[in-house]
Amino acid sequence: MNTDSKIGRRQLLRLGGLGIGTGLLGRAFGQHPPSQQPLDTPAVPWKANFDPKGTTPAYPPRDKPKKGETIHEFEIEVTIGTHEIVPGVETHMFLFNNSYPGPEIRVNEGDWVQVNLKNSSPEFHTIHWHGIALANEMDGVPLGTQWPVGPKQEFRYLWRAQPAGTHFYHCHVMTTLHQQAGLVGSLIIEPKEDVVRKAFPYHREYTMLLSELDTNFVRDMMNEMVTMSVQMEAMNHSANLMREMNGRMMGWFASKETLVKAVKNGYVPPYLSARTGTAMPITPNYFMINGKSYPMTEPLMIRHGENIRVRLIGGGMMPHFIHLHGHDFWHVCQDGAPLASPVRMNTIAVSPGTTSDIIIQGTNPGNWHFHTHSDLATTNNGQHPGGMMTMLMYEDAKEYGVTFPEIIAISS
C-alpha cells in the first residue's frame, strides 16, 4: 500500500531504493510491461520444501558486525501526535516518526540493521522485532530483555535481518495500548533467493497492515499513561519526590515471591475486582488498512496478466478474513516463510501477530472489492460501509469493456 514512509535521512542514504514505501514500487510498474509468462504456469517450479532444520537461524543471532559489513541505520522517534482515520475522525496516538503505521523497514536477508530509537514522548517504549531471530537483548521486551526506554532516552537496537519474509515491529510496552495506539510498522526482509518471485514473476507489491482501534479505550488509557508519565517526569526533577518513585508505583516486582509477599502485606494489585470492578472490554470502533479506514484506504492496482504480491500483516488484536471478489489467489508465505506448496483460496484468515503473503493474478479485469469478511470490521464507528475494505482495480479495465466508475460510498 502506498505508505509514505518517513524514515531517517541516514536510512535513505544507505539503503537506496530498498527502504522506500511499497507504493512507489507499485506505481513504478506502470512504466513496465506486464509479464508475458502465462499466469497458470509458474515461471519456475515452486522450490520451497519441508526442511526440519529450517527454523535454525542462518546467522548466529549473537554475532556482532564484522569489519566491512554494512550496517543499515534507521532513526525512529516516538512522539504523541494525532492521526486522521477518516475525514472528521482524528485521534491522539503514539507515533513512530510521526506516522501511523510507522515507516516500513525493508532490508536484504543477512544485512545488519541498527535502529536508533529516540523517545520523545512522556511514556516508556521499546521496539519488538516480531518474527526476527536476533540476540535476546535486542528483542524489545520491557523488563524481559531490556529496561523500557524512558522519556528523552535513546536505545540502539542492532540485529541481523533473518529470516527473510514479511514481518513487523511494534512497541512491547503495555502492548494492549501502545500497539493499538499506533506503535506498529511493517518489516520486510528480502530473501537472497525469492521463490515467490521466481514462481510468480511480479513487479508490484503491496503491504497491508491490518489493525483496529477502540478510540475510547485509547483516549482513556493514553490519559492514564500520560498522567503517570508526567508525574514521573516531575518526580525526576525533585530529590524529595524521587524518593517516592519505586517499583510499586510502576507495578514492578523483582520476582513472583516479592509480589506474593507484597500482597500478603497489604498490597492491592490492580487486577483485583476491588480496583477494577468489572473488566471493561476493548471494543474497537475503527478498522484500518495501513492506518486508514474505507473510503480512505488505498486501492491495489493491477493490470490484466500481471501478478501482484500482497503482504498481509495481522498488526492488531482481532483476526480478519480477507476476501477478494472475482478471483482466487495463491497463499504463498506464512509468517515470512514460503509454504511447502502454495494454497489456492479466495478468503484468507489473518490472525493477530501473523503475516500472510498472497499472489493475486490479473485474470478478471474490473474493480473488485477486497475486504475483511468479519462484518463488524467493515464499519466506521458502527456505520457500514467502512473499515477494512479496499479495491483491486485494473488499470486497463476499460480495454476489456469494464466501465463502471469508482464510487465512494459512506453511510448516509
Partner 1 sequence: MHDLLETTFRQRLAVVGLLLCAGAIAPAQATHSDQRDTSLQPQIEFAGEAASTLDLGRRGTFGGHGFGTGSRINLSDSGLVFGASQRLYRNEIGSFSFGGITTDESSAGGGRDIFMHQALLDYQRLNLEVFLGRTDTPTSRFIEFPTLRGDDLIEYRTVLNPFSNGETIEEHRYSNVAAVEFNQGLKYFENVHAQHLIDSAGGDTGSGINSVGTSFQFQNVPTLEALQRVVTYGVGFEHRDIQKSAGGNSDVIYGGGVVNLNRSLVNRTDLRLFAARSFGSDVNSLTNLTDTFRSDATSVALSLRNLRTPFGQPGHQLALTLGYRNYEKVKGASSYGAALSYSQNLGDGFDVVAQIVHEHRNGQLVDVFGRKDSTTLQLGFVYNFGSVLNKSVGPRRSPVNLLHKYIPN
Nearest residue (CB) to partner 1, 200 versus 253: 253
- Interacting span for partner 1 (CB under 8 A) from 27-35, 212-220, 288-296, 359-367: 212-220
Residues 73-92 that bind partner 1 (CB under 8 A): 80-82, 89-92
Question: Using CB under 8 A as the criterion, what x/- string covers residues 172-211 for binding partner 1?
Answer: ----------------------------------------
**219 touches partner 1 by CB under 8 A:** yes
Determine which residue in the list 235, 317, 345, 349 makes contact with partner 1, applying CB under 8 A. Answer: 235
**376 touches partner 1 by CB under 8 A:** no
Distance separating alpha carbons of residues 356 and 378, to the nearest angstrom: 20
> Sheet harboring 347-350: ordered strands across?
300-302, 389-394, 367-372, 320-324, 347-350
Cell of 392: 483491486
* Cα Dmax for the chain: 77
- Do you know the residue count of the chain? 412
**343 touches partner 1 by CB under 8 A:** no
**69 touches partner 1 by CB under 8 A:** no
- Interacting span for partner 1 (CB under 8 A) from 126-134, 236-244, 290-298, 400-408: 236-244
Nearest residue (CB) to partner 1, 55 versus 240: 240
Distance separating alpha carbons of residues 215 and 151, to the nearest angstrom: 24
**161 touches partner 1 by CB under 8 A:** no
**248 touches partner 1 by CB under 8 A:** yes
Contacting residues toward partner 1, per CB under 8 A: 80-82, 89-92, 122, 215-216, 219-220, 222-223, 226-227, 230-231, 234-235, 238, 240-241, 244, 246, 248-249, 251, 262, 266-270, 274-275, 277
